[in-house]
C-alpha cells in the first residue's frame, strides 16, 4: 500500500472515530435534557441518595485529570527524560478530562443555566466554592504549561510553570477529597484520610488512563513503545496501585477502631450486597490484585498488551471504588443516636436503595466522550504523540 492510500484510510478512520465519539456526546446531552425536563424522578436518585452514577463518572474524570498531569510533572519538575516526551499529551488529557468531568457534574446538578451564579457568588466557608476557583485555575495553568512546552521561545519557563501546575493539582485533588472528608452528614465520610487518599488515587487512575490512551495512539500510527520505557511506567503504575491499596486498608482499619463505625464497616465489607461485591470483586480483585500480579510478573510485565490490560482493569476498579465510596456511603443511614434504633417517615435508620438508570449512565458516558473527542481532535491537529529521544534516554538509564 502506498503512502497516499494509507493517508486516505487513516483519514477515514479519524472521521469515523470523531463521528462515533460525537454520537456518544449527543446521547449524553440528550440524557441530560431528558432528566432536566422530567426531573430526577426518572433517575435512581432520591432524597437519601442525591449523588448517583453521574457523580461517579464525574469524580473519576476530575480525579484522573489531576493524576494524568503527574506524567508531565515527573518530566518537567523532576527532570526525567522519559516523561518529558509525554508531557504535552499529559497536559492535553488533563484539560480534556477535567472538561468532561465538570460537564457531567454541571448537567447532573440541574439548572445548568444558573452556573454563572456559582461562579460569581462565593461562600468561602464552603469547600465547593474553593473547588470552583481551583478548577478554573487548573485550566489556566495547564493551558499555560502546554504553551511553554510547545513554543520554543517559552520553553525556558516550562519548569517553573510545571512546578506551579504540580502544586495546584495537589491542592485541587486535596480539595476534591475534602468535599467528602469535611462532610459529616454521611457515616462513610468525615475522615481526614480521604484527602491524601484521593491524591494517591489520582496518581493511579491518571497513569492508567495515560497508558491506555498512549497505547491506542501508538497502535493507530504503527509505533511501538520502547521496552525500557514500558518497564519504567508499569513499575510506577504498580507502585501507585499498591499505595491505593494501602490507603484503603488504613481507611477501613481506622473506621473499625471506632465502635460507632462498626455497623458501616460491616455493611460495606460483609452485608452490603452490591456494594460488598463491588468492593471485593471490583476494587480489590479486578482493580488491585490482578493488575499487580500482571505488572509484577517477570514475563507478563514486559508485554505491552499485558500492561495495557492491567491499566484497563485498574480503571474498572476505580469506578468500583468510587461507586462504593460515594453511593455506598449515602446508602448507609447516618447513626444519629449510637446504640439506639431509629424509625420515622423519613427513612431514618433504614438502608437506602439505589438503582442507576439508563439516562444516568448515558450522561456519564457523555463526559468520557467529551474528553476523548477533545483529545482525538487535538492530537490530529497538533503534535501530541510522544516522540522519544533515545540518546537522552540511554544517558538517563546509565545515571540511574
Cα torsion 245, 248, 254, 259 to 10°: value is -130
Q: Are 313 and 290 in contact (CB under 8 A)?
A: yes
pLDDT at residue 1 in the model:
40
Estimate to the nearest angstrom the gap between the alpha carbon of 23 and the chain centroid: 22
pTM assigned to the model: 0.90
Q: Where are the alpha helices (DSSP H) in the chain?
A: 3-38, 53-68, 70-76, 81-84, 87-109, 115-120, 127-150, 158-181, 194-221, 227-257, 262-266, 274-277, 290-296, 304-323, 329-331, 358-381, 390-399
Q: Where are the alpha helices (DSSP H) in 225-303?
A: 227-257, 262-266, 274-277, 290-296
Q: How far apart are CA 81 and CA 71, in angstroms?
A: 11
pLDDT at residue 261 in the model:
82
- Domain 22-337+346-386, CATH 1.20.1630.10 — does that match? yes
pLDDT at residue 348 in the model:
63
Q: What is the pLDDT along the chain (400 residues), one digit of tens a residue?
A: 444 544 555 778 888 999 999 999 999 999 999 998 888 888 988 888 888 999 999 999 999 999 999 988 888 777 777 888 888 899 999 999 999 999 999 888 777 777 777 677 777 777 777 888 899 999 999 999 989 888 778 877 888 888 999 999 999 999 998 888 887 767 778 788 899 999 999 999 999 999 999 998 888 877 888 888 889 999 999 999 999 999 999 999 998 888 778 888 899 999 888 999 999 999 999 999 999 999 999 999 889 999 999 999 999 999 999 999 999 988 888 766 666 666 666 666 677 888 999 999 999 999 999 999 999 999 888 877 777 654 554 445 545 5
Q: Which among 384, 379, 309 has a CA at the least distance from the CA of 17? A: 379
pLDDT at residue 217 in the model:
87
pLDDT at residue 156 in the model:
79
Q: Are 189 and 353 in contact (CB under 8 A)?
A: no
Q: How far apart are CA 134 and CA 176, in angstroms?
A: 10
pLDDT at residue 340 in the model:
63
Q: Which among 118, 96, 37 has a CA at the least distance from the CA of 367? A: 96
Q: How far apart are CA 56 and CA 238, in angstroms?
A: 23
pLDDT at residue 7 in the model:
54
Q: How far apart are CA 112 and CA 274, in angstroms?
A: 31
Count other Cβ atoms within 10 Å, centred on residue 225: 17
pLDDT at residue 4 in the model:
53
C-alpha cell at 321: 471504588
Q: Are 291 and 317 in contact (CB under 8 A)?
A: yes
Q: How far apart are CA 204 and CA 14, in angstroms?
A: 29
Q: How far apart are CA 46 and CA 99, in angstroms?
A: 27
pLDDT at residue 2 in the model:
44
Amino acid at each position: 500500500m502506498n503512502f497516499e492510500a494509507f493517508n486516505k484510510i487513516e483519514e477515514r478512520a479519524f472521521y469515523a472515530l470523531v463521528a462515533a465519539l460525537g454520537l456518544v456526546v449527543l446521547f449524553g446531552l440528550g440524557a441530560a435534557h431528558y432528566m432536566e425536563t422530567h426531573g430526577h424522578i426518572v433517575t435512581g436518585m432520591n432524597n437519601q441518595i442525591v449523588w448517583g452514577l453521574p457523580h461517579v463518572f464525574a469524580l473519576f474524570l476530575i480525579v484522573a485529570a489531576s493524576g494524568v498531569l503527574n506524567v508531565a510533572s515527573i518530566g518537567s519538575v523532576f527532570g526525567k527524560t522519559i516523561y518529558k516526551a509525554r508531557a504535552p499529551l499529559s497536559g492535553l488529557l488533563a484539560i480534556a478530562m477535567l472538561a468532561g468531568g465538570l460537564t457531567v457534574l454541571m448537567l447532573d446538578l440541574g439548572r445548568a443555566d444558573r452556573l454563572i451564579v456559582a461562579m460569581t457568588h462565593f461562600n468561602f466557608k464552603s469547600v465547593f466554592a474553593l473547588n470552583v476557583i481551583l478548577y478554573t485555575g487548573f485550566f489556566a495553568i495547564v493551558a499555560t504549561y502546554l504553551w511553554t512546552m510547545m513554543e520554543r521561545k517559552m520553553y525556558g519557563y516550562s519548569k517553573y510553570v510545571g512546578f506551579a501546575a504540580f502544586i495546584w493539582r495537589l491542592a485541587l485533588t486535596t480539595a476534591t477529597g475534602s468535599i467528602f472528608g469535611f462532610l459529616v452528614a454521611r457515616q462513610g465520610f468525615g475522615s481526614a484520610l480521604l484527602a491524601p487518599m484521593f491524591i494517591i488515587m489520582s496518581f493511579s487512575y491518571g497513569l492508567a488512563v495515560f497508558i491506555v490512551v498512549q497505547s491506542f495512539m501508538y497502535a493507530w500510527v504503527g509505533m511501538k513503545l520502547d521496552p525500557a520505557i514500558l518497564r519504567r511506567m508499569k513499575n510506577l503504575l504498580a507502585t501507585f496501585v499498591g499505595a491505593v491499596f494501602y490507603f484503603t486498608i488504613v481507611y477501613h482499619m481506622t473506621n473499625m477502631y471506632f465502635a460507632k463505625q462498626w455497623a458501616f464497616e460491616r455493611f460495606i465489607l460483609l452485608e452490603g450486597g452490591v456494594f460488598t461485591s463491588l468492593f471485593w470483586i471490583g476494587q480489590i480483585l479486578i482493580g488491585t490484585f490482578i493488575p499487580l500480579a500482571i505488572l509484577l510478573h517477570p514475563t507478563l510485565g514486559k508485554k505491552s498488551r499485558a500492561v495495557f490490560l492491567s491499566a484497563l482493569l485498574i480503571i474498572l476498579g476505580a469506578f468500583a471504588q468510587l461507586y462504593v465510596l460515594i453511593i455506598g456511603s449515602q446508602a448507609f443511614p447516618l447513626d444519629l443516636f449510637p446504640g439506639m434504633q431509629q424509625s420515622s417517615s423519613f427513612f431514618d435508620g433504614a438502608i437506602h436503595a439505589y438503582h442507576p438508570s439508563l439516562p444516568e449512565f448515558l450522561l456519564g458516558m457523555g463526559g468520557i466522550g467529551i474528553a476523548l473527542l477533545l483529545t482525538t481532535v487535538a492530537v490530529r491537529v497538533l503534535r501530541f504523540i510522544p516522540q522519544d529521544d533515545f540518546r537522552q534516554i540511554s544517558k538517563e538509564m546509565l545515571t540511574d
